[in-house]
Structure 1
Amino acid sequence: MALEVHVLGTSSARPAQGRSVSGSIVETPNGMFVVDCGEGFQNRLVTHRSHMKNHAGRRLKVSKISAILLTHGHLDHTWGVLPWMQTMALDGRKDKLWVIGPTTSEVIDALLGSDVEPEVTPSDLVIQYDMWMDLGANSEMLGYDVEWILGDGERWVNMNDGSEVKLPQPLKNVKISAHKTQHTVPSCAWKISTNGKKGKFKRELTQQIPDEIKASLASGNDVEFEGQLLLAKNYRGGSIPGLSVIVSGDTAEQAIDAECDLLIHEATFLQSHSDIANEHLHSTAAGAARTAVECGAKHLALTHYSGRLENHEPSLSEAREIHQSVVALSDGDRLILNDDFSLSHLHKSSEGWEQQD
């Protein structure tokens, strides 16, 4: 039931200080999502998969990735999409892939038939969609089904045929939802949640009960048997709650209206540069911590550091003054959100991964 996040890039805008640009994989029990896919993503994925095979005893299966979830259209978050999609075609992918991202309400109006011409910024994903189509990012050219979906958080359009659709839910027992954020281009945070599980059925209490009664209790139905009402809840252990993670993308602080167990939030600047953060609608490490408090997050993971930051210790110290459970991510790290809501932070090393306090 655990959720695992594979962090493949922690730099903002461009590679710097040994860090690559944005890209993460969120692994659920039923499959995986890529959240953002900056330039060079496929190279980093190859390296990470090899490291997983050599030091974790397993390899991430690309075929289990069901969707690419884009937080916004800046190229350090999107420019690895098409090369990686073409590589998957060369590798013989057959399963459908969803590519989902935000645009403005005005663009959605136009896509659904409005006569009003929308104002579109150069980094809007609707512009990149047109470019990707010209370069062959469609099902016919790739050889596997691709569903391109753009939305404003409430309405979603299937770009393949122009129809309005509900936000796709590619994985069973896993919910994705988009939450508007505040940046210089249309942007959103992605929340990925697993469904809770029923507690274990207490078979030892049903040894003297007929099979049909036992089956009904196991299905959650109260049953009358030999003059007594048997309550289904008495024959199950405690339920296991679901888990949730939010990945913010680029955003000003305190812009996410959603709750989660783990918040992965950009921390481009330190509080000493809050004026620059505010001007460009980015967050400081302290701002990320304030956002985590507002979201009710049990844990906060910092990422997306400015190139001016040689290391993330100052960011970590700043955020920990506000939130009690904070980690600072590096490229190649893994985060495991466990069933008991504890967080394991595994820091990449040449010998595998080391547990961080």
Structure 2
Amino acid sequence: MFALHILGTSGSRPTATRSVSGNYLMTPHGGLVIDCGEGFQERLVRQDLRLKRSKAGKRAKASKVRAILLTHCHLDHCWGLVPFLHTMDLEGRTEPLTVIAPAAPEGSDSKPDFKDLFDSWREITGDDRGSRMGYEIEWVLIPIEGDSPIDSPIQPFEDLNLTAVPTKHGVISVAWLVSSRNRPERRLMVSGDTSRGVVSFDSESIGGGLDVLIHEATYSSETQDKAEVWGHSTAEDAAQAASAMGARLLGMLHLSSRITDPSVLEEEARRHHIDSFVCEDGDIIEVSWSGEVTISRREGDAWSDLSIG
């Protein structure tokens, strides 16, 4: 039902083995991108080519993307958007695309903000009089006020509900909750960047538990002070959020370049949420119609099942 391709697991800047944020979610009704950091289009192409060569029966095609969701306006989460849009145009895309992002409420002087970025991106890709691309782009801003989850005013998928859940970061930011309308119990969330203590990160506020939570874990508990200063989370914070939201599986990413041993984060997280693991670039997390959750990890051009715990 859901196949989430993790295409970036590094925090703020790329490393030798980890790229910045970007995720591709394949659903029965098309593809969905959640965050689109620098170089996203190249990572997506590589993922799809490797899957094709592996003959695993899975793909990650840009042509299937129907919507792009952005969590916040820091460049490691959105700077790959315009090149990706341009590449889809060069490849002959004609189907419309929806781009959805959180924004400061009207009258706010919050900077930076997606409103300014959207204005600039419209100039590059086309204005309200018609797109310069070979396809139409619908730009949707969701004003964020308070802590309550907000359903997107535009829902591009017939059977999916997209909900923005306000988080705590240095700019307006949200997590994205994706749920099935026909199977309401099939739900996953991608946190974006956030510090601990998000008001709506509990199962009651989000309307039930989660099959999968993808949550940032920039730091270990030894550097909790840095997490607080920079608006990020530790592995322990991520695990506590997973428990509060009733998540069956926690995948952690957005690791600081100073994290050299991811198992330290897994050990910390499992004290609070046993089914926790650190994601690697290329991981695929699948949720079946019946709710079975599986993880596949890439080695070269092949994927194999990953057991955790």
Give the structure-1-normalised TM-score: 0.78
2:140 to 145, 149, 152: 149
Q: Could you tell me how far apart the structure 1 residues matched to 2:181 and 2:82 are? A: 32
Letter in 1 for 2:72: H
Question: 2:35·2:71 contact (CA, 8 Å) conserved in 1?
Answer: yes
2:131 to 113, 122, 140: 140
**Which residue is equivalent to 2:194?**
251
**Which residue is equivalent to 1:127?**
116
Matched, 1:95 2:86: no
**Which residue is equivalent to 2:11?**
12
Deviation at 1:166, TM superposition (A): 6.0
Q: How many residues align?
A: 293
Letter in 2 for 1:132: W
Deviation at 1:92, TM superposition (A): 0.8
**Which residue is equivalent to 1:42?**
41
Question: 1:52·1:58 contact (CA, 8 Å) conserved in 2?
Answer: yes
Q: 2:247 is paired with a residue of what secondary structure?
A: coil
**Which residue is equivalent to 2:75?**
75
Q: Could you tell me how far apart the structure 2 residues matched to 1:145 and 1:154 are? A: 29
User: C-alpha offsets along residues 120-157 of structure 1, whole Å, 9 cap, x if unaligned?
Assistant: 313x11121122123235552112110001112479xx
Question: 2:44·2:61 contact (CA, 8 Å) conserved in 1?
Answer: no
Question: 1:327·1:345 contact (CA, 8 Å) conserved in 2?
Answer: no
Question: 1:85·1:137 contact (CA, 8 Å) conserved in 2?
Answer: no
Matched, 1:190 2:176: yes
Question: 1:7·1:334 contact (CA, 8 Å) conserved in 2?
Answer: yes
Letter in 2 for 1:125: F
1:265 to 204, 215, 218: 215
User: C-alpha offsets along residues 214-247 of structure 1, whole Å, 9 cap, x if unaligned?
Assistant: xxxxxxxxxxxxxxxxxxxxxxxxxxx6410000
Letter in 2 for 1:283: S
Q: 2:131 is paired with a residue of what secondary structure?
A: helix
Deviation at 1:327, TM superposition (A): 2.0
Question: 2:51·2:301 contact (CA, 8 Å) conserved in 1?
Answer: no
**Which residue is equivalent to 1:216?**
none
Matched, 1:284 2:234: yes
Q: Could you tell me how far apart the structure 2 residues matched to 1:153 and 1:167 are? A: 12
**Which residue is equivalent to 2:293?**
343
**Which residue is equivalent to 2:20?**
21
Q: 2:14 is paired with a residue of what secondary structure?
A: coil
Matched, 1:175 2:161: yes
Question: 2:69·2:99 contact (CA, 8 Å) conserved in 1?
Answer: yes
Deviation at 1:338, TM superposition (A): 2.5
Q: Could you tell me how far apart the structure 2 residues matched to 1:69 and 1:348 are? A: 25
Q: Could you tell me how far apart the structure 1 residues matched to 2:241 and 2:126 are? A: 36
- Ranges in structure 2 where 5+ consecutive residues have no aligned partner: none
Q: Could you tell me how far apart the structure 1 residues matched to 2:58 and 2:232 are? A: 36
Q: Could you tell me how far apart the structure 2 residues matched to 1:40 and 1:193 are? A: 28
Q: Could you tell me how far apart the structure 2 residues matched to 1:170 and 1:332 are? A: 26
The farther-off stretch of 133-142 and 66-75 is: 133-142
Q: Could you tell me how far apart the structure 1 residues matched to 2:60 and 2:142 are? A: 29
- Ranges in structure 1 where 5+ consecutive residues have no aligned partner: 111-117, 156-164, 198-240
Q: 2:267 is paired with a residue of what secondary structure?
A: helix
Give the structure-2-normalised TM-score: 0.90
Q: Could you tell me how far apart the structure 1 residues matched to 2:63 and 2:32 are? A: 11
Q: Could you tell me how far apart the structure 1 residues matched to 2:83 and 2:210 are? A: 32
